[in-house]
Structure 1
């Protein structure tokens, strides 16, 4: 036998088999690639039909996708298909069918790791809850959805649904922000469609806010996009909006024109035959899916039946098994009935709890907004009280008048502190506060606090001492404003309850690392002290220990609550040691970043004595006449001249045509706000100091004022010395920097 010949033949057969396997593998890979391409094409086609309101075609297209998914046993594709079914029926108002497909998708997701599918499922659940009127639950589902996937198309659809919800709960600014982002979206699937929906919703909000010109602009923009891309529903909605707007506006000729267009498009697109065709298609596909499930069950039953006929023993065992199952079924049925009743009861209770929670959230928001509005509105008349009191004290009143005016000044400042405390608590409750991270000098912050409260200490005949550790780095990174608020409250509280004694402010460095230091702070006094029972509630709002303490020492009891909440922003906790009659010690630790490389010191510092106000000329932007008079008189006291602008537009015109040393800009004005006026001025003058004067409210942010171009912020009503200090610092710093 020729072994070489045999080996050669075996080698040829092996090579042939290897080629067959490679070809099969290549063919399979190519088939998979083609399948994926087909599915993408199908979904793109479905999206087009959905936008054009061709429901029958859209459903048929999804049916093809479902068949491919089932043939390939592709669970993720089947989830995507069921989700699109659910979304389509949800948009058509068929909630029951939408829930049917959403539950089918949910069953597959239980056994499939698919983050995008989970995210889309939460998005659809949010849409369902929004349709039920559970706005806050819907927002929560959308927030969870956003965490699971950063898919651009899903993110844009979440933005749109959030805008609808914000409109429902009258958060129009948030809704408008989302919708403007969608108008300029770069979505690769639904760019034009999302922009159309956004314009329609902006028009709705503008109608609600009685801004009919803006509503017309957005409605026409939506109509133009919808006509260009064939979005049938949106064309109809845009015509309805325009007809309605022009009717409200009194332009009946235009309104009639759009009404005729609307009637024509309804006849051509939204006719009875189309609605019947869509319904028939939907019923057919739903029926096919349900029959598919039944066929699968029947196939399983037939397989079991064939197995039974193979052996008599199997038949006997099956009969015995069925008998046992029947007995168990009776027991399970009874247990199931009890379980169903329990589930119904739990479901009802859960619904009641959800409604109660929504009501509580709404009530909390209403309370927050009410307190914000009240505190903001109180500031304007309080500005007149404190300002006029200061002016009268400056005009050499008689001794008996001076006594009354000082009492009035004290009352005004007390009321101002109370309003500030309420606003601060309100901001904390509403999660409106975030710590800054800017460079600052801790020693200067603490010395400023001590100096500002020195007069209070003198009145109580109390020694106020700062014990500062010089090992602390000169420049730290953090939030000096909130740190100053913490010490103002702690030191002010210590002085309030200490007479003829001593208050110490202590700052020590515990540990220093490469870019962070651990600091220890303490405010210690030898005042009246706090009993153990009183210490339990001392950090709660409006708590001062006892009614007698409140009557003797006054105050609101909010200071320590603010301290506790502000420290929470920095991840720190306030601690208390006190003994009745032997004083108190409030202390805490804080990790603070610092600049490891010390830079150059500031070239110059300004002192109030150096300010030469005489001859300065400023622009005062203020819409309130009383405030105009007070501000002008306060400036005149320092021999500063001024021009008055009644609104933002006047301010822009005056700033263009005149030269000023500074601009005092009110923020809240009719027409354009002070922020917008500042932005416009900064386009042609980037140098002039602009100081914001504002009765700051809950939604105001100091960051937004600075971003708009303001150099500094003074909150109304302000103390005159603070007012003059800010004007001097900003004007003379600007001049000194310019000369440098």
Structure 2
């Protein structure tokens, strides 16, 4: 390190000696700008001829001049070109840095045309890194800006890249549409290179979709154009695609011929690129650059000697010495400096990541606590709304009141669904959703879902068709509840947005590894469809097709977000294909494990106690309701009275404990949030002297957040508020029947 400093000191001294007399490039702004533009154009020629190091040098020189001139537009363009070059030579991280520098300058200077170009190149970088969604976002941004600037040639190329990205995302319908647009625009603008590449990729999409005849037509057309204009990279892609198509139609000889041509050309292109990126090529480029500098120095030295200009001579010698020393000194210094900076950045980054992680965890806890509190406060009055509306509907209301009460009940149910959806999204985001695999019959499960939703479909004059691959087994091990929720959401959506139409549900195998099947589920409708621009955000929370659609069809916009979250948890993927006025297809792929074990039939193994309530003697049954809210007391008492059950009511935990000590109760319905001691604390005390008493937590809190507390306290079961009356009755009757069995056995 001291040696490096000494070298630098010499360099700096020589520079300072030469500053006052050195001849410089003409400082005229127009000449400077011409030099910048010339270097940029020459760098593009170098790139086409695989002279990457020469191109890099010209761009570095151009950047130095642009900074001197303070021309923001040129600075942005040069950074963008550097990013493109770094992408070609597979330095993606460096490319990201250069492109972000370009975008920053172009945003500040409002240079939208070149900003669009930087976005496009940034999309290509993310495409090379296989971050397809990020790539797609940048391509769409670039396309929009190019369109606003009227740059149709650039739009054609961006559409082609967007189409390739949709192929990677397996959104083949959208890929086909986008590539068709690219081909049409490329033909119109005379962009044969883009046209040939888009045609080949169009053929690739048709091959994937199973139309091999069209696939071959498009791919051969693109390959013919590429050969005519000698575009080796595109020819190479064409060979690969045509080989695959011939393989699909079982013409193995033709497939093999094209495959050999592809391998041969790939090797050739790879060799050319490797040769032009070799250390030898870099050294040669540096030497050529140095030779040019030496020639210039010699010319100036001769001129200075003839003029006997001692000051000029010193200046030229200084520059020569600087050149010699800089090759070693500055490279050593930069390498050392970069290493130190990298280490410092890593330490700093680690510290920042730790702080960010702590902040994120705190924010997540705060959000969870907030949601828990808010939902409890909402559920409590909702219990009153749904409970009272059900009660009034059961009490023979006047005809003119029925519709109002039904509207009130609908609003309550809607609000409850909305709250539950928010809570589920919160659980998914917080990674609190557990997978609960069990063996079940998949075909039977989907049939049951179709039957359950058929009435809603008939209301819209919609016919549901269910197709299950006949070669597919029916029994699998998976989380059937989550699969049901996904299908109910998707089919329900299709029903909502389809009038006088059809819905098709299909299930078939994508691949199989041992006992693990990757299945594709499709839900297709011929309803209103989704516009192209809205499709990008359909899986985000609160996303709807439009304000008008939201008002007409209702919904919270949370269903698809939940669906995507559940599919991610099941290690699957979901895709969307849609066209306005022609319908929508959602399809998702998830792995399921085949099992020879058949689904357990509950009716064979367990008596349905709810069906045997006539055998129960309810005369002496006593229930204690522990509830501090007066309206909720009234509702619960009404429901119990309707069930022919007697109850006592207390409004706090202390009195509940005293009542249980002094009396014999069959069931206790315990609220959680109360003045004094909570329902959890009261239950813990009761369990110190009565281990067998049936105690239900009748609560509006988020159950998942408190489950461990409920279990530790000793609750028999939980009934969340607001509840469906039939479920409430079933739990109570089953508990009473179980108590009767215990007493009989004893």
Q: Which has the higher contact order (CA 8 A, sep 6+)?
A: 2
- TM-score of the superposed pair, with normalisation by structure 1: 0.47
TM-score, normalization by structure 2: 0.46
